[in-house]
Amino acid sequence: MICSRFANLNKSRNEREEYHSEVLPCENGAVNPWFIGAPAIATAAAGIAAYGGMQPRAQLFGPTVCRTNSPRKLAITFDDGPNPAITPKLLDLLDRHKAPVSFFLIGRYLRECPELAREISARGHVIGNHTESHPNLFWKGSAEIRVELRLTHSAIKNALGAPPKWFRPPFGFRNPWLAAEARELNMRVVMWTLLPGDWRAPSAEWLIHRIRPIESRAKRALAHASGTGEILCLHDGSHHEQNADRTRTLAALEHWLPRWRDLGLEFVTIENAVNAPAL
């Protein structure tokens, strides 16, 4: 009797399974494939956007200058000035080493000390636009980007008598609307090959070590006598406040400027980095 009951139960279970397999479709067959693919597509799109907006050499959101046109050329650039506490000392240091460089200025700081901007220009350095208030442009729309760029564009033009030709986005972040706004103002976007993080340097020695790749890369490039050169991004100010302490940046440059010169590097502004032939 017990065996007979188990046989009947198995038969009943088999009949139910056979019924379901014949009548019911696969559950996944009723799922729209877009529900499966959409998250993957969205993730991929987000990754591409992040790469295009944050990678210094990415050209997804418009062309950028990210290297010099010769391995002999070193373009040193400074962001977040002008800074009355540091920029004058930096100008004297650059004079001693005959090193023309490029300064990307914040508009609100420029309005506070336009005479310092004129001094930068008078000493043979190039001045570029670094927005009015240093926002993260990756999250900004075209109207907000236009205001940030145009306010500083006007401040530089008023101080120097000529508009800037170069623009560096704060934090290096870009988005699809930035290229059009910069192009409308006849400015080229400038990025970098090395961002050593001098704003957070705990010591000059730490920063000297962080900047060392300029030397090692230059040695390799000069040995082959071909290729492109470096754009170094440093800071003479801080977007958080005026009169920021950047003495560690000065000390690191005191160390490296003569060594780079002895290595055979030529110091250039961003304009000469991409236009003029190397000496």
Q: Report, as residue numbers or ranges, the catalytic residues.
A: 79, 235
206's tokens? 């730490």
Cα distances from 79 to residues 65, 142, 156, 192, 259, in angstroms, run 16, 23, 15, 12, 23
What are the residues whose beta carbons fall under 8 Å from the beta carbon of 136, sequence distance 6 or more?
170, 171, 173
What are the residues whose beta carbons fall under 8 Å from the beta carbon of 35, sequence distance 6 or more?
none
Question: Among positive and negative, which fits the CA dihedral 38, 40, 43, 45?
Answer: negative
Instruction: Identify any residues that bridge with 190 across adjacent strands, giving them in sequence order.
Output: 65
